[in-house]
Chains A and B, each alone.
Chain A
Amino acid sequence: MTAGVAAALSLALAACGGGSGGGATAPAAAPSASAAVQDALSKPAELTFWTWVTGIEKTVARFQAKYPNIKVNVVNAGQSADQYTKLQTAIKAGSGAPDVAQVEYFALPQFALAKQVVNLADYGAAALKDRFAPAAWGQVAINGGVYGIPQDTGPMAMFYRKDIFDKLKLKPPTTWAEFVDVAKKIKADNPDNFITTIDPGDAGGVDSMIWQAGGAPFQTSGESSVSVTLASDPGVKQWVGTWSALLGEKLVDPQPGWTDEWWKGMGSGKYAAWLTGAWAPNGIINSIPKTKGKWAVAPMPQFDAAKPMNSENGGSSVAVIPQSKNIPAAVAFAEWLNSDPEAVKSLNSEAGLFPATKALLDDPAFRDAPQDFFGGQKINQVLGDASAAVNPGWQYLPFQVYANSVFKDTVGQAIDGGGDLAGALKAWQDRITAFGTEQGFTLTSG
């Protein structure tokens, strides 16, 4: 497609989107407000969809059953950073990219600002806003556009070993101060045990905890102004205060996640809690099945119990790649996949994703289902409330993939060696600032 045609098309579509917003859509069609997008559903098309979500083929099969004209090839082209490397190479090469691709929230601004994903607002996608949890929508609404359709989220929660807490007569901590106390009691009971772990290589985990503390150290305005305030952000300072103490007194174990040793610790009770996203249950159920009935979930500890705040860890959107030969059909597919009630139910039950959409988050059948593995606890109530409490002010850097890759050399070192967290965060900020400047962004830091 030439640039002229694309521009003309997007103008026409934007006009349509403005005129037919609201709930006036035909019942059988996808929820988009754009006529061209709905039109695309009835015309023959072939789409390639890059995703690493296993089980999503079942959801796609439902789409095919409903819209047999559109053939969707599901390709697992690799996960996260692997897939982004390929995607960016293919986009640069001018061919070989898919029509639709899975992109995590933390990586989306990078693709959006480089114009490597389609602005879906041009196709009327802004009308979908009310269908999603505000925090999820906040992750795809970048710079006044809409660059992906939210697929799943990971509101933070505290998964903990109920058996250990009960044995020591402990209650799940509601504040970070209580968390430190509980950590000391667990240590006092057995010096080999820890309340939890922190992964020195996982920038995402630390980002999520800073976000949960009300921090917003990364801000982008316009196309090229970025501010990085890891050294002065009040949320960062709160996180540093608590975690310096936890690390200094060896109350938490600096241990990379997902390793043999880590899973063993999770299974044996060496680690009493896991602070992570709402997607965690699958991992626990699949990897340490012998701990069935021993786990429970509670909201994240708070810095200010009067003003509960939460954050996201992980989560993905589905974006459309400009190289697509049939952008309207690609948009229609992405919209259906992540917001049609039948699709989102399938994503949750058949692909195991924690929903981004209110259709499910507010659905009593979803919220009130007791979970056998968690001793019958209705965990989706806790996780759904955790989703509602997410602080929507967070932004990722337009080069977060790079920033995360150098986290290990700076903050990770301090976590691992019990060093100075504040100094390490400043070092991380310096690396981020230098890289951003090289990339042509205007950086302010503090």
Chain B
Amino acid sequence: MTAPVTGPVTGPVIGVATPRSPTARRRRKSVTLTVIMLVMFGYAVLPLFWLLANASKSGADLFSTFGLWFGGDFHLFANIGDTLSYQNGIFLRWFGNTVLYAVVGAGGAALLATLGGYALAKYDFPGRKLLFAMVLGAISIPGTALAVPTYLLFSQAGIVDTPWAVLIPALCSPFGLYLMRVYAADAVPDSILESARIDGAGEFRIFRTIALRLLAPGFVTVLLFALVATWNNYFLPLIVLNTPDWFPLTVGLNQWNAQANSGTSGAGDASYQLILTGSLLSIVPLIVAFLVLQRYWQSGLATGSVKQ
């Protein structure tokens, strides 16, 4: 939300040519927009609040108390304890797996996309246009459709049911490459590269010391997208992993949910409490990543490069 309005509200501002300071424009209030904002805010926050409220209930309270408020007893910490210790603490293992897949996969994807995007934007080589067209084509194929062929391929390579089967596809982000190519075309002026070359810098040094810094906001954007995508990836790990020890949180939690919903499984099943608490815990790192990375993202976007 915006900062509180301090000065008097002046007349309507039309166009951008008025010599007023940018804060003056922010003072305009619109009831409609505020209402829409509030609705969107509620839409985004209500499920989170529901999750928090229900993860703090005891199993007996879950289905016998009002859904959008806390139950009689505050059970959150007991639930966290149960979640972390259920099935010999497999939740922590899943958590670690997800961190591994997300950090290595998303970090690698962002790095590869930056390298590739920069090369496609700034170097002229045969087949450049074709390569780029193929990347654009690749974006249009949903990952879910590729999961089964990927499995067959990985099965031949003998890496099914290992972390590699999740990591290798996570490293490829056609969308990230596309984004970085478009971004690098504008964010890294050719004149800077030329002057660096005249000063005698090698291509890799130019990339490392100049281009990478200019590309930082794009890099962080791709990293965030890739992080969210890998963190939430469900279908590919579901197909390629069979051993619960390698599951990410999405597949593991879904398995608990299926158990809780299951008629054919037995006593000592995962309860809904564990699933809710596990879900709550599993979104915390994403929120932290957003809060931390967003800073770089915004400051980067505000940074200029050269005077045009």
Contacts and interface: CB of A to CB of B under 8 A. Distances in A.
Given A56-B266, A77-B242, A78-B255, A258 B261 contact: yes
Interface string B228-260: 000000000011001110000001001100111
A267 B63 contact: yes
Contacts of A29: none
Q: Identify the interface centre among B67, B156, B268: most chain A CB within 10 Å of its CB.
A: B268
Interface in A272-299: 276-277, 279-280, 282-283, 286-290
Nearest to B269: A54
Contacts, number: 132
5 contacts: A52-B265, A54-B270, A82-B238, A89-B148, A264-B67
Interface in A288-338: 288-290, 313-316
Contact of B239 (A54, A85, A152, A282): A85
B264 interface: yes
Interface string A350-376: 111100000000000000000000000
A350 B264 CA distance: 13
Given A54-B270, A104-B264, A263 B258 contact: no
A350 B267 contact: yes
Nearest to B147: A89
A268 B255 CA distance: 28
Contacts of A86: 238-239, 242
Contacts of B269: 54, 282, 286, 352
Contacts of A203: none
B277 to A, nearest CB: 15
B272 A287 contact: yes
Interface of B: 59-60, 62-64, 67, 148, 151-152, 155-156, 160-161, 238-239, 242-244, 251, 254-255, 258-272
Nearest to B268: A55
Nearest to A268: B64
A92 interface: yes
Contacts of A98: 242
A94 B154 CA distance: 12
Contacts of B59: 286-287, 289
A188 interface: no
Interface in A214-249: none
Contacts of A287: 59, 62-63, 260, 271-272
Contacts of A50: 242
Nearest to B242: A77
B63 A79 contact: no
Interface residues of A, number: 53
A90 interface: yes
Given A89-B151, A96-B155, A154 B64 contact: no
B86 to A, nearest CB: 10
B259 A54 contact: yes
Given A56-B266, A95-B155, A286 B271 contact: yes
Nearest to B156: A93
Contact of B262 (A75, A79, A289): A79
Contacts of B270: 54
Given A93-B155, A267-B64, A53 B264 contact: yes
Contacts of A75: 242-244
Interface of A: 50, 52-56, 75-80, 82, 85-86, 89-90, 92-96, 98, 104, 152, 154, 258, 260, 263-264, 266-268, 276-277, 279-280, 282-283, 286-290, 313-316, 347, 350-353
Given A78-B258, A95-B160, A96-B155, 15 more contacts: A53-B266, A54-B267, A78-B238, A78-B255, A93-B160, A104-B264, A258-B261, A286-B59, A287-B62, A287-B260, A314-B263, A314-B264, A351-B265, A352-B265, A353-B264
B100 to A, nearest CB: 20
A260 B263 contact: no
Contact of A264 (B63, B151, B265): B63
Contacts of A152: 264
B266 A79 contact: no
Contacts of A263: 62-63, 272
A96 B64 contact: no
Nearest to A89: B151
Given A79-B258, A279-B264, A283-B263, A290 B161 contact: no
A95 B240 CA distance: 12
A174 to B, nearest CB: 24
A50 B267 CA distance: 18
A280 B59 CA distance: 18
Nearest to B58: A289
A16 to B, nearest CB: 33
Contacts of B263: 154, 276-277, 279-280, 282-283, 313-314
A76 B97 CA distance: 17
B262 A52 contact: yes
A75 B264 CA distance: 16
A287 B58 CA distance: 11
Contact of A94 (B62, B64, B155, B260): B155
Closest 7 pairs between A and B when the two form their complex, measured CB to CB: A352-B266, A352-B267, A351-B266, A93-B155, A79-B258, A263-B63, A279-B263
Contacts of A92: 152
A215 B12 CA distance: 73
Given A90-B155, A287-B63, A290-B64, A282 B266 contact: yes
A359 to B, nearest CB: 18
Contacts of A315: 264
Given A93-B152, A268-B64, A290-B64, A316 B264 contact: yes
Nearest to A262: B63
Contacts of B261: 258
Contacts of A289: 59-60
B266 A350 contact: yes
Given A93-B160, A287-B271, A54 B265 contact: yes
A261 to B, nearest CB: 8
Nearest to A288: B63
Contacts of B255: 52, 76, 78-79
A280 to B, nearest CB: 7
A314 B261 CA distance: 13
